Structure 1
Amino acid sequence: MYQKIRLNHYLSNAGICSRRKADKLIQSGSIEINGVTVLKLGSLVGIDDIVKYNGKTVKNNNDKIYVLLNKPKNFICSTKDQFHRKTVIDLFPKLYEYKRIYPVGRLDYSTTGILLLTNDGFLSERLTHPKFHVKKIYHVYLNKEICNKDLDKIREGKIYLKEGRVKVLFVEKSFQKNQVKIGLSIGWNRIIKRIFKRLNYRVDHLDRINFAGFHKKNIKIGKYRFLNQEIIKKTIENNFIYEKKYKYN
């Protein structure tokens, strides 16, 4: 079953307003869940809950859109940017206007690779919540060849960052001596660059080639394709190996 999502996410997903403005609506006492006025930020909504805004039922967007993008460099994974840099939404202006799709998770400004955009708030929550350990695979381009000793340190969990010990799913050299493939389920900020910096390597380029089972095969950089419900369901159920009971609805 779907887990619950934050109320501000639900309101935004329904097209009422942005998440930030939704927080103000909640604090103003304008929102009810199942007949009870909600004032607490961070309140959760389930798929069967009835949400009302000023007495009118808020209907979550049932017309779900799923877009798989091979993100180019120099795009922000957000709907807007305070520095007026290009965002991934700029690639889908009309789709955002009418369906309000959002990027699921983030890739750094200079990082390329697979990114899912959707208006399915429940799926988005599922794929970004830390407790579900979503698998991600990256192709890492380093400034120099990495030695086997350093690879073993990563592989054996001997790298420590401020959040704690780094546990990767795998790490291996690619065809080129200065390139590495690494899989992990941790979502710490800039984790890959920090791993290699700890070992005195510089990441010159980072490309995500797999996210929760979604891959960028046959999608050129800057291009995208739409996914249907059947593909979403099959991919999610096949790749959530950490919680076998999960069933996508």
Structure 2
Amino acid sequence: TTLPDPNEQVRLNKYMANAGLCSRREADEFILQGLIKVNGEVVTELGTKISHSDVVEYDEKVVTLEKKCYILLNKPKDCVTTSDDPNGRLTVMDLVKGACNERIYPVGRLDRNTTGVLLLTNDGDLASKLTHPKFVKKKIYHVWTDHDITEDDMQRIADGIELEDGPIHADAISYATDTDRNQAGIEIHSGRNRIVRRIFESLGYHVTKLDRVYFAGLTKKNLPRGRWRYLTQEEVNYLKMGSFE
């Protein structure tokens, strides 16, 4: 990576997000709460600019810019999307151990038994962009149910159904194969918890398998379940530009 120009000025909140500490919005909160020092002085002014020679501290610790790390994991079943699990279950962090020295985090969650595309990174700015309700990104799931899905129900899901936390509709839904009516592909933008399972359960289906095949332009093509790879520079640029749905 190229070293930053020492004289270049950058906003304090952006510097903190770039350091993988938090999102810019959270950085602003920390600044307002007087938790950030620059060169030993508390700074509470939003929009403060600093240069790379300045020393930024949060919680008495110096904030340093980390190398950015972006990992795509094809999450297996029976594995939790948390950084650590008090019950000692397998976590996604166990699977990407050794991928990079930086402390990375999963972007969004997948249920323990949901498989598929999961992004892990230390880029706080990008993570909040991908999960913020305002920018919620397209996700496509392959759903297996315990019995055939009727065409009426497929239409209902496309038109929109009412769940306890408000209405929801699929952006697109179709049968996943020509032969099996108990498999569907569903495209959805919502970031609501367990949303796909709840949609089908509300219509009397039990989801036996759920696989996320697409998230924000990333797919698990050529990536076996349980394996990970680094994002290509092209993919990172694509995500940063937000040039996908």
Give the TM-score range, shorter chain.
0.7 to 0.9
Identity %: 41
Cα offset, 1:237, TM superposition: 3.9
Q: CA contact under 8 A between 2:238 and 2:244: conserved in structure 1?
A: no
What residue in structure 2 maps to residue 161 of structure 1? Answer: 163
Structure 1 length normalisation: TM-score?
A: 0.77
In structure 2, C-alpha distance between the alignment counterparts of 1:154 and 1:46, rounded to whole Å: 48
Amino acid of the residue matched to residue 135 of structure 2?
F
Q: 2:230 aligns with which of 181, 206, 226?
A: 226
Q: 1:57 to 1:82 in 2, by over 3 A?
A: closer
Q: 2:91 aligns with which of 87, 90, 101?
A: 87
Cα offset, 1:95, TM superposition: 3.5
In structure 2, C-alpha distance between the alignment counterparts of 1:239 and 1:33, rounded to whole Å: 35
Cα offset, 1:207, TM superposition: 0.2
In structure 2, C-alpha distance between the alignment counterparts of 1:78 and 1:196, rounded to whole Å: 25
Amino acid of the residue matched to residue 169 of structure 1?
D
Q: 1:192 to 1:46 in 2, by over 3 A?
A: farther
Amino acid of the residue matched to residue 13 of structure 1?
G
Q: 1:70 to 1:46 in 2, by over 3 A?
A: farther
Q: SS where residue 114 of structure 1 aligns?
A: strand
What residue in structure 2 maps to residue 100 of structure 1? Answer: 103
The answer as to 2:216 corresponding to 1:212 is yes
**Higher gyration radius (CA):** 2
Q: CA contact under 8 A between 1:113 and 1:216: conserved in structure 2?
A: yes
| 1:73-100 deviation per Cα after TM superposition (whole angstroms, max 9, x unaligned) | 111111101211110110122346x211
1:122-201 alignment, distance < 5 Å: 122-157=125-160, 159-175=161-177, 176-201=180-205
Amino acid of the residue matched to residue 58 of structure 2?
Y
| 1:183-205 deviation per Cα after TM superposition (whole angstroms, max 9, x unaligned) | 11101111111111110000001
**RMSD of equivalent CA atoms:** 3.5
The answer as to 2:143 corresponding to 1:119 is no
Q: Which residues of structure 2 form unaligned runs of 5+?
A: 1-11
Amino acid of the residue matched to residue 60 of structure 1?
L
Structure 2 length normalisation: TM-score?
A: 0.78
Amino acid of the residue matched to residue 221 of structure 2?
K
Cα offset, 1:56, TM superposition: 6.7
Aligned residues: 223
Q: Which residues of structure 1 form unaligned runs of 5+?
A: 39-43, 242-249
Cα offset, 1:32, TM superposition: 3.2
The answer as to 2:20 corresponding to 1:13 is yes
Q: SS where residue 157 of structure 2 aligns?
A: helix
In structure 1, C-alpha distance between the alignment counterparts of 2:19 and 2:60, rounded to whole Å: 17
| 1:146-204 deviation per Cα after TM superposition (whole angstroms, max 9, x unaligned) | 000011111111x1112211022101111121000001110111111111111000000
